Every structure is written in C-alpha cells, then in structure tokens.
Amino acid sequence: MIQVRGLTKAFGPKKVLRGIDLDVAPGEFLTLVGPNGAGKTTFLRILATLSRATGGDALIGGVSVAEHPAQVRRNIGLVSHRTLLYDDLTAVENLQFYGRMYDVPHLDARIEEVLRQVDLYFRRHDPVRTYSRGMQQRLSIARAILHDPPVMLMDEPYTGLDVQATAMLRTVLQSLAASGRTVVMTTHDLELGLDVADRVAILSGGKIGFRAAARDISIHEFRRVYAEQTAG
C-alpha cells in the first residue's frame, strides 16, 4: 500500500532524512519510533503531502506523493498532535466543513456514524473549545476517517493524553487496525507503540535502523534495540 524509496529531506544544508526505504502492506499497522528530532514528523508530513521531499519518492496506493499530491490526499487521513480543528465551531460544523472539502457523500449520515464511532455523538453541538484534550483527539480521528481513507497517518497521537484518554485512544486504534485500514503511527512511547502494531521500525539519524514484526519481539528486547540504535 505504501512504498517509500530513498526518501531524503534537507532543510537548507541540514539533512533530516537521509534515505528512507520502507514498505507497508495493505491493512498493516506500522509503528515508527524514534527520538525527538529524528525526523518522524517530517517523514509523516511528506507522506501526508504537506511537505516536499528533496529526494526519493513515496507511493501511496500506487500514486506518487511527489507528482500527484492532490490524488494522494483523497486516500489519506492525518491525525497530528495538533487537532486541525476549529475551536469556535461545533463538532458537527467542523465535520460538515471537512466533509464538503472531501466531497463526502451522504454527509449528515456519515457525520453521525463517525461521531458515534468515537463516542462523541452526545457532545456534537458543543464548540470544540469546550472539549478536553482527549475528546479533541477523538474528534480529530473522526475528522480523519470521515472520508473513509484507506491509509491513516498518525503523528504522536498519545501526546498530552491522560490515563483514561490513553485507554480510549488505544481502543480506537485497535478498531482502526481491525477495520482493514493501513496505518502508520509515530510515537516515542515504545510500549504503546508495540502494543497495537503489526510491525515496528526505528527511525534514528535520518534512517530506518531496525524493523521487525511486532509479535516477534518483546518489549524488553525492543527497548534494548532502541537504546542501541539511538545511542550513536
């Protein structure tokens, strides 16, 4: 579903990504971990067509991110650690706006559907400003799946969530994984990352230093390898 070949990104003279090669199979849940500044967010933003790579390319659903970004956008949903929501509008109004921008058919029915999925239907007419961080995150996910994209990109979705919200997010992620969508999630929490994933990879120093199937590795091993990879 996603094929990344030799992706590089430099900000002026500073090289952040130094050649990423990665494959994500359809329906697979990949967790990408790495220290702060490793380039996880940059990588995800390139996949989300928000940023342009300086070299290499990525194919999402067979469409090149560099050459046909508009086409790619239909197929992806992004959940960032920023909500991408309009605080002064209600949940319904936010989703109506995004629904129109994505040409979502039967919009009102779809809005009800996703709101129920993330358990926010009861607060749908309240302005987003009044939501807790966890609720905003869930609405953000609702926004991202509104147009039913086959690919979900999630950038550190656990950031700033309390225990309850984390548990709820975990449930949502598991249902995402079960829904057959292809998911790429970045996080620096190794345990949470390993938990929901089918596969894991470590991004360090601008390159993928390690990859494995999630069930083949224990959390302790994972921590050890991570410490090794990020030490240099």
| 3-state class (DSSP) for residue 195 | helix
CA distance 56 to 34: 21
User: By CB under 8 A, is residue 74 in contact with other proteins?
Assistant: yes
User: By CB under 8 A, is residue 68 in contact with other proteins?
Assistant: no
Residues contacting residue 216 through CB under 8 Å, at least 6 positions apart: none
| DSSP code string of 106-123 | SHHHHHHHHHHHTT-GGG
Closest separation in Å from C-beta 11 to other proteins? 7
User: By CB under 8 A, is residue 117 in contact with other proteins?
Assistant: no
CA distance 142 to 160: 18
Closest separation in Å from C-beta 47 to other proteins? 11
Question: Bridge-partner residues for 77, per DSSP?
Answer: 152
User: By CB under 8 A, is residue 123 in contact with other proteins?
Assistant: no
180's torsion region: left (phi>0), alpha (psi -120 to 50) or beta? left
Q: Using CB under 8 A, pick the residue from 21, 25, 26, 101 that binds other proteins.
A: 101
Closest to other proteins by CB, 16 vs 212, is 16
Closest to other proteins by CB, 52 vs 116, is 52
* Residues binding other proteins (CB under 8 A): 11-15, 45, 48-52, 70-71, 73-74, 76, 78, 80, 82-89, 93, 97-98, 100-103, 127, 143
